[in-house]
Amino acid sequence: METFKLKVFRYDPTKDSQPYYQTYELPVEKGMTVLAALFKAKEEQDPSISFRYNCRAAICGSCAMRINGHATLACKVQVTHILEKYHTDTITVDPIGNVRPLKDLIYDMDWLIDKMKKVKPWFIPKEAPPKDGKEYRQSPEDHNKIDFASDCILCASCMSDCNALKVNKDFLGPMVHSKAYRFAADTRDGAKRERLEAVLEDLNLEWCVRCWECTTRCPKEVQPYENIVRLRIMAAEEGFKTPGEIHAEIFEQDILNRGLLNEMLLPMRQEGIVGAIKRAPFGIKMLFKGKVNYADFFGGHKIKRLEEIKIIYEKAKEKEKEVHIKLPQIMGVIYEDKRKTAKRANFAETGGNE
C-alpha cells in the first residue's frame, strides 16, 4: 500500500451547523505516527485543520483522540500499525468521546478541570517538612503502591471510552478517580478521608460498570479501573459504609431469608425512599419486560429447600472465623513485579497501544 486515507473530524462553530468529515490522501511512510500524518495533511493540503499537541513523545497527553473508534495518543500510534490492525486503507480521527468539541479535534477541557478540583489532585502533607530540609521520605514498598497511578498524564483517553460517563455526566470518571487514589494512597499525604468522601459522594464509585475500557485504553498503564476498586477497598478499611458494602449485606440477607434476590426492593433498602423514587422508572421498565415478579414488591416468595441454603450459610459463617482474608489494598503488587521485570513493548516496532 503506497497511500492511505486520513479521514478527519471537522467542525468550526463559527460557520458549521453540524460536524462533518474531510478525507486527505497521504503516502504511507515507515515510522509515521498519526500525529505526523495530521501535520503532513495540515502543512501540505489544508492549513485549517486544528488539533492539540505538544511533546510528540507520549508524555504530555495533549494529542489524545479517537483513532478508528478508540482513544489513544496520536503521537504514539503508527500509521502502518493501524492500517494492518484494522485491515483497511483508512484512518479515521475524532475528538475523544464524552466531550464537547470546540474546533475540529480540539475539545472543551473545562469539564475535566472542574471534576479534578473535587478530589484536590495535589500533595497535602500530613506533617511538617523534615527538619533536615530534605524531601518527604517514603519507603520503596509504599511508593510501589502509587507508582503506576503517578504515571497518569491527564490525556483523558480513559474518560473518552468510559461507558458510565456516557450516561451520567456527573460521574467523576476513571481519570479523576485514579488521581484521587494516587494521593489517597500516598503515605505522606494527610487528606485521605477528605478525598474518599469526595469520591463516595452521590454514589460516585458505584457508577463504574466494570467494563475495563478505561484500563484497556490507557496509554500509560495507569490501571484506572483497578484504582476505582482500590478506592472502594480503602473506603471500607477506613470505616465508610459504602453503597457496595450495603449492597452486599442486603444480598446476603435475601439469600438467607428467601434464597433469592429481591431487586425491586433493593433501591429502597439501600438508598431509602428517595433512592426508590429515583429508580422507579427503571423498575417499571423491568417489570413490563418481565425481568422481575410483581410479588417482589410484597417481599416475594421463598425457594424450595431453603433450609439447605441456611445450613450452607451457617457452615460458611463458622469458617469465616477460621479464615482471615484481607482484601489487598494494592492489587498492583503482582502487576508491579511484572512491570519492572518484563520486557516492555517496543513501540517503535509495534507502533501502538498493545
Amino acid at 77: V
Which range has highest mean pLDDT (101-110, 203-212, 261-270)? 101-110
Strand, coil or helix: what is 347? helix
Higher pLDDT, 337 or 93: 93
Per the prediction, the chain carries an average pLDDT of 86
Distance CA 40, CA 51 (A): 13
Name beta bridge partners: 20.
Answer: 10
pLDDT digits (tens, 9 = 90+) for 309-322: 999 988 888 887 77
Q: How far is CA 51 from CA 19, 62, 106, 198, in A?
A: 15, 9, 5, 33
**Residue 217 confidence (pLDDT) above 90:** yes
Q: Phi, psi at residue 282, to the nearest 5°?
A: -65, -40
* Structural domains in the chain plus CATH codes: 3-107 (3.10.20.30), 110-240 (1.10.1060.10), 243-322 (no CATH)
- Which DSSP state fits 201? G
Tell me which residue of 258, 263, 250, 261 sits closest to 303, measured CA to CA: 258
Assign 292 a pLDDT band (cuts: 50, 70, 90).
confident
The reported pLDDT for the residue numbered 122 is 94
Q: What is the mean pLDDT of residues 291-307?
A: 80
The reported pLDDT for the residue numbered 344 is 43
The reported pLDDT for the residue numbered 266 is 79
The reported pLDDT for the residue numbered 324 is 56
Q: What is the mean pLDDT of residues 210-218?
A: 92
Spatial CB neighbours of 317, under 8 Å, sequence gap ≥ 6: none
**Residue 338 confidence (pLDDT) above 60:** no
CB 50 within 8 A of CB 41: no
Assign 323 a pLDDT band (cuts: 50, 70, 90).
low
Q: What is the mean pLDDT of residues 185-196?
A: 94
Distance CA 183, CA 195 (A): 8
Percentage of the chain lying above the pLDDT 70 cut: 91
**Residue 342 confidence (pLDDT) above 80:** no
Torsion of CA 314, 317, 319, 324, to 10 degrees: 170
